[in-house]
Structure 1
Amino acid sequence: MRSGFVVPVLAATLLASLSTTDEAAACGGCFVPPSQSTVVSAHRMALSISPKQTVLWDQIQYDGDPEEFAWVLPVKPGAVIEVSTDAWFDTLDAATTTQIFQAPVDCGNDSSGGFGCGAMDVRSAGATNEAGGGGGPSVTVVHRGTVGPYQTVTLSTDTPGALNDWLDNAGYAVDPSTQPVIDAYVAEKFDFIAIKLQPGKDVKSMKPVRIVMPGASPTLPLRMVAIGTGANVAVTLFMITEGRWEAKNFNNVVAPVDLLAWDFQTQSSNYGELRTKVLEQNGGASWLTAFAFEGGLLGQLPGLFTFGGPRTYSSTGTGLGGVTDTIAGAYVAQGLASGETMSGECSQNLVNLSKSSLMVSNPCPAGVPFDDPSCGSVAAGEIDARKLACGPLDDLAVALNGLHPKDVWLTRLEANLPRAALAEDLVLAPAASQETVDNMHQARIGTNVEAFCGDGSAAPITNGSKRGGGGSGPLVVGFGLGLAAIAAAARRRLGAARA
């Protein structure tokens, strides 16, 4: 079950509504029989990295015959697969999606003016968000099992071409052009996890999955992502790390928010165009940091613009009584609203531990539920990860294992990668800049302001503007500036950036 999400509460009665997106697909290779065809257009993933473990979440969407679905991902030896929750991606996406608010304007009369209610989710601006079988001795089945609605198999091989043969024997089409990619991962000593839907399960039962791997592995298998994609693929990656992270072997960009313009006639901004331009840099091999906050998961984020208090969130169906002031709290509320958990008892623990310098530790063996008898106890001076789980709603607890809550950043990276950029895996590393990047922005330029003020004169508010996160700076409202001139200014700025 999916629920819409509302974020944030700007004032007591002003809510900006976000709806979850269904445009997502697996980050592994998606193999289908010869009678089927698929083009993967978007991926939505999350990655948590600590010295103890690396966790990769992947949201899978597939619209074909459930009996003909298979998903394959290269993993480090020792990896286990677990089922995740829809609430995890629903919350991360809704809380970090870029939103643009109209430029403030003084209409010169008493009828209107100041900060209007115009706001736009960038998704409305055209921005893209997002086994089994036979085999021979050359392929070792490391593990078979079930998780959620899936049958799972972990495979290991040292023989080039063996995995392709195994998949062919299972009835899945493997394009011959993919064999060099798979063989390269084999040569690099990767194992492979493959999943299929259990008999009797349909595509509506599909849930996100997470892969838990031992140690720090800051790499995303983009070469495998290339399988099944078209000319370009949109990728959204949420990172949970100590410190702000970014791409190490790709270009890193941010949106030129000082060029943001708000058209009062269409009630929309030019953010989509600005975003497209920066992502086209470096031949399209660029990653945009759209959100980055220390304490972004567990802590309160600053209020917006001139509104006081922290940013707040409400899950659809809970009403204003369900408003929370952290993304972690919103995750629990969303899980309750969607029926993925019946208990919110971990909420207060999340609040209490948000500024702790102690390390979170999971005392359970890999792949074992938190309530399993084999679980032990944590060492003195550590936080028991089980305290951060609300029943089956355990993504936060898993994500924070090995991390210190007060140092954890939540970062959103976006890309629109051409196939050529998928020739190498994405390597991630601590960012050169550890500055905050907000997803809430107020346009600096206004056009067609008469649609808001009428035919009377209008003047900019001269006391400056505040962007999301409480940042401040001069606001330029160019009421006589046409959109063509704004676009020209953007081209000059972006051209200078490329140079």
Structure 2
Amino acid sequence: MITRRLLTCLAAPAALALPLLLNPSAASACGGTFCDTGPTSMPVDQTGENILFVIDGNIVEAHIQIQYDPENDAEKFAWVIPMTAVPEFSVGSETLFQNLLAGSVPTYGFNTVQEPCGDSGDDLGESTSTGDDGWGDTGTDDGGDTGGPNVILQQIVGAFEVTVLEGGTVEGVMQWLDANGYQQDPAAEPILGEYLNEGHLFVALKLAFNADVDEIHPIVLRYEGNESCVPLRLTRIAASEDMDIRAFVLANGRAAPTNYRHVIVNPLMIDWINFAENYKEVVSMAVDAFAAEGNAFVTEYAGTSGVVSQAGLYEDSWDAAPFAELQDTPENTIELLESQGLAYCYEGQCELLHPLLPALVESFLPTPDGVEPADFYGCLICYGGLIDEDAWDAAAFSAALDERIIAPGKHAVGLLDSWSYLTRMYTTISPNEMYEDPIFHVNMDLQDVPAIRQGTHRLLCEGGAEFILPDGRSVYMPDPFAWPEISGEMPWEQEVSLAVQAGPNQVLSDRTDTINQLLDAWNAAHGWPPSESGDGDGDGEGGSDEIGDEGDSGGDDSGNDGTGGAGIEDGAASCACSSEGQGEGRVGWGLLGLLGLGLVRRRRTAPRSREV
């Protein structure tokens, strides 16, 4: 079944809203999961709700990846989305979302080196790779005179039935939804009332008749406006605690939250040794910190859209027209798909090469009873007499192929070619925090944020290790294979800021000095760094009382990724908002932390990383 936690508010200044499910029970979202991209790297978790905004002057496109829980019934899925204007609807590209996630996923990793010991000595600046570098690519009722809404648009968009409702009372809207198969939660009534009072329309969306769960695809809403919005107020009736939300923006510059805050997480709270296994926890705590107040995003990536692969989106060889000529020869369908590069067949087995194609083929060419699907689709001509002639409609198949696969893919390629800049933002948010719909804007003055964050893990001769963060700060590790819990009130956030329309973010709270002081105290308590006369083992017995000056390390006010930059004095709050974020996933982390790590002196391992 489709998960009900999906989000997104679309409207000129406000915008996309959320799912009212027919089945009120909570469901877990299924999302893209990215496991390790090589022998020594892993991506961060990426389950959650994903939406892509494209801002083109006064036109906004919202691409929504509709996610579902296969343990539940897809027929019970429905959405109600508040809008300020009637949008244009079209099918989105599932492959585009897969490639967005893979290309921009944040990765936390490290190189491991061995301190030179005794007479043998390698220069630490020379690192020998042992192979892969560790980085991956990686029936409608208009309500009559009962206060019901007016139905101003109805259409089928791919696998979905879409209806746009205007006006009416809250009671009338709820009655319409009930009469048309949308089971509602009474808790939605006051929220729907808020949107009605603000003049919003409602888009009601559910699976079309006979559509199955495996036909679900992203949907695109195109509307007039210059901001993108996620309508969380309606979402809160079905949301879980710390729900993951990930927003992508394609534009001509970096995007930032307008009415939410922007957060840079404290990199010292990341478990680097286990490849940011605790990433979601760190982000959740950081966005709940002082001045962020539970309404904030982190920026996981900001930079060239070239990181998004165009593989599998669209090929010039794809053409729906020839399939319309196969009404009398449906057994040639797979062969024609193969000739266009949409299928691959070998020794009687055929693989369909687009994520939406298997369900599409199955709906028009269902497998006969008693025949294995692999055998049937591997040799349609062998089972020609068993093909369901009532299900096969060549013209309809051709139209569906174009609408669901070819046209969305071609449009996706055009978007990536037209917009050179991609921003990826992430947050976690709970129902009690969903009282304002986050809006995003483009600020051309903000800096890039890299997705790859890599440190250095330096094993010491006498035990322990030094970990050098990407910003140059040094952390002593008593246990060389366990990330230390630094004593004191170490903050989860490094910086909270308000993203303005132009110029650098306005800093509301900066904890860099506090973080550095706590780090220095930790290092000093363990005799790190050692004095010239010390024994250099970091055990505190020969160490210096002096603390190295790390005051220039930390986040900056441009909203970078928090792994480096100029420090700003601790300060608290003016007013405003800002944000930065990530996602969750199901990969098995941590175990790669020890792979390839030799305790043999002077041995160096390949870089390691994990995408979060």
Give the TM bin, normalised by the shorter chain.
0.5 to 0.7
Partner of 1:358: none
**Contact in 2 for aligned 1:287/1:415 (Cα 8 Å):** yes
Is residue 2:20 matched to residue 1:31? yes
Partner of 2:225: 215
Task: Return the alpha-carbon distance in structure 2 between the equivalents of residues 420 and 432 of structure 1.
Answer: 33
Pick the aligned partner of 2:354 from 336, 339, 344: 339
1:411 Cα deviation after fit: 0.5
Summarize the Cα distance change of 1:270–1:199 in structure 2 as closer, same or farther, 3 Å threshold: closer
Q: Which amino acid aligns with 1:88?
A: L
Task: Return the alpha-carbon distance in structure 1 between the equivalents of residues 61 and 75 of structure 2.
Answer: 28
Alignment deviations for residues 332-385 of structure 1 (CA, whole Å, 9 cap, x no partner) = 37997842699xxxxxxxxxxxxxxxxxxxxxxxxxxxxx9xxxxxxxxxxxxx
Task: Return the alpha-carbon distance in structure 2 between the equivalents of residues 253 and 202 of structure 1.
Answer: 40
Alignment deviations for residues 198-241 of structure 1 (CA, whole Å, 9 cap, x no partner) = 22221111001111112323322121222311233110111112
Summarize the Cα distance change of 1:487–1:399 in structure 2 as closer, same or farther, 3 Å threshold: farther
TM-score by length of 1: 0.64
User: What is the RMSD computed on CA atoms of the aligned residues?
Assistant: 4.0
Summarize the Cα distance change of 1:231–1:100 in structure 2 as closer, same or farther, 3 Å threshold: closer
Q: Which amino acid aligns with 1:58?
A: I
Partner of 2:369: none
Summarize the Cα distance change of 1:24–1:175 in structure 2 as closer, same or farther, 3 Å threshold: closer
1:154 Cα deviation after fit: 1.5
Q: Which amino acid aligns with 1:79?
A: P
Unaligned 5+ residue runs, structure 2? Answer: 9-16, 30-47, 316-340, 343-351, 358-398, 400-404, 495-509, 512-570, 573-612
Partner of 2:566: none
SS in 1 for 2:412: helix
**Contact in 2 for aligned 1:74/1:192 (Cα 8 Å):** yes
**Contact in 1 for aligned 2:52/2:248 (Cα 8 Å):** yes
Q: Which amino acid aligns with 2:308?
A: I
Pick the aligned partner of 1:396 from 386, 408, 412: 412
**Contact in 2 for aligned 1:221/1:426 (Cα 8 Å):** yes
Q: Which amino acid aligns with 2:428?
A: N
Name whichever of 200-209 and 76-85 sits farther off: 76-85
**Contact in 2 for aligned 1:74/1:185 (Cα 8 Å):** yes
Superposed counterparts of 1:79-158, under 5 Å: 79-108=87-116, 114=128, 132=140, 135-136=143-144, 138-158=148-168
Number of residue pairs matched?
375
Q: Which amino acid aligns with 1:329?
A: Q
Partner of 1:418: 430
Summarize the Cα distance change of 1:82–1:487 in structure 2 as closer, same or farther, 3 Å threshold: farther
Pick the aligned partner of 2:216 from 181, 199, 206: 206
Superposed counterparts of 1:251-400, under 5 Å: 251-257=261-267, 262-263=272-273, 271-281=279-289, 282-293=292-303, 296-297=304-305, 299=306, 326-330=307-311, 332=313, 338-339=353-354, 391-396=407-412, 399=415
**Contact in 2 for aligned 1:24/1:44 (Cα 8 Å):** no
**Contact in 2 for aligned 1:100/1:120 (Cα 8 Å):** no
Partner of 2:452: 440
SS in 1 for 2:206: strand
Task: Return the alpha-carbon distance in structure 2 between the equivalents of residues 136 and 423 of structure 1.
Answer: 32
Task: Return the alpha-carbon distance in structure 1 between the equivalents of residues 412 and 190 of structure 2.
Answer: 36
**Contact in 2 for aligned 1:168/1:174 (Cα 8 Å):** yes
Summarize the Cα distance change of 1:228–1:39 in structure 2 as closer, same or farther, 3 Å threshold: farther
1:187 Cα deviation after fit: 2.0
Task: Return the alpha-carbon distance in structure 2 between the equivalents of residues 110 and 456 of structure 1.
Answer: 15
Is residue 2:195 matched to residue 1:185? yes
Is residue 2:54 matched to residue 1:48? yes
Summarize the Cα distance change of 1:136–1:65 in structure 2 as closer, same or farther, 3 Å threshold: farther
Summarize the Cα distance change of 1:106–1:220 in structure 2 as closer, same or farther, 3 Å threshold: same
Partner of 2:242: 232
Task: Return the alpha-carbon distance in structure 2 between the equivalents of residues 178 and 231 of structure 1.
Answer: 18
**Contact in 2 for aligned 1:102/1:118 (Cα 8 Å):** no
Task: Return the alpha-carbon distance in structure 2 between the equivalents of residues 110 and 399 of structure 1.
Answer: 52
Partner of 2:383: none
**Contact in 2 for aligned 1:101/1:442 (Cα 8 Å):** yes
Q: Which amino acid aligns with 1:478?
A: Y
**Contact in 1 for aligned 2:177/2:183 (Cα 8 Å):** yes
Task: Return the alpha-carbon distance in structure 1 between the equivalents of residues 107 and 234 of structure 2.
Answer: 32
Alignment deviations for residues 80-130 of structure 1 (CA, whole Å, 9 cap, x no partner) = 221112101111111111111224413536999656768699xxxxxxxxx
Task: Return the alpha-carbon distance in structure 2 between the equivalents of residues 23 and 487 of structure 1.
Answer: 39
Q: Which has the larger radius of gyration?
A: 2
Partner of 2:40: none
Q: Which amino acid aligns with 1:396?
A: A
Task: Return the alpha-carbon distance in structure 2 between the equivalents of residues 433 and 484 of structure 1.
Answer: 35
SS in 2 for 1:165: helix
Partner of 2:183: 173
Identity over aligned pairs, percent: 20
Q: Which amino acid aligns with 1:209?
A: I
Partner of 2:67: 61
**Contact in 1 for aligned 2:4/2:19 (Cα 8 Å):** no
Unaligned 5+ residue runs, structure 1? Answer: 1-21, 122-130, 300-325, 343-371, 373-388, 468-472
TM-score by length of 2: 0.53
1:486 Cα deviation after fit: 4.7
1:478 Cα deviation after fit: 3.3
Partner of 2:396: none
SS in 2 for 1:167: helix
Partner of 1:75: 83
